Amino acid sequence: MTQFPELADKAVLITGGANGIGAATVRMFHQQGARVFFCDRDSGRGEAFARELGASANFRTVDLTAEKEILEWVKSIKAAVGSIRVLVNNAGRDPRIPFLETSAQQWDDLFAVNARAAFLLARECAPTMPPGASIINLTSVTLYNSPQQLVAYVSTKGAMLGFTRCLARELGSRRIRVNCVSPGWVFTERQLRDHLNDDALRLIDAHQCIPDHIQPDEIARIILFLASDLSAAMTGQEILADRGWAHS
């Protein structure tokens, strides 16, 4: 793997880091020698993963719908390391809910996890982020293919795209970069368990330009690129990592 010395010993904060894309991202930054701080609601998986990685990986169970827990988590990280070099807003939920059956509470809860948490984390991290720091948000290819029963989820991802573009402008004078990654259908453990049936596989085969199934570590490598100095000229940008689905 390419090494990025600018990330060694730097603090990296990752949400939803116990599983899927988040876990692949935690592992990749850990391999770079970064001090990785990650949260998840899956405390058992998160604690076991942190033990596996060792002392430079720090896990905390955080309810991302609770502002107080987010603020306390960021405060504890700053107390330990001073500043955060990279923030990866990865955590998110994607429940399938028919639009006419979507309650206001379900809508609000999804925005709290998928969008409001990213706002709170960026707001709390940015004041002490150094020049060259990077915020990376996760959006989705569903912004372009508009699947059914995902109106609330896709709306949160549209919000994250707008958030990315405006925040890049807002933080540019501090030389903090803000970009986002829009993955296609990634073959995470949860997707394999809950959503990847024969119909879904046929849909993927029909729409991806390249038929290979996307793996979590492929998305993690793009996140690593956006955190590194290789992408120093990029801010306010979206990278579609979907094997060409959005253009089919």
Residues serving a catalytic function are 153
The enclosing H or E element of 40 equals strand 35-40
Sequence-distant (≥ 6) Cβ neighbours of residue 196 within 8 angstroms:
185, 187
Place of tokens 């998305």: 219
Please name the residues in contact with 118: beta carbons below 8 A apart, sequence gap of 6 or more: 15, 89, 137, 160, 163
What values do phi and psi take at 195, rounded to 5? -135, -20
- List phi, psi (to 5°) of 185: -80, 105
Q: Decide if 157 contacts 140 (C-beta within 8 A).
A: yes
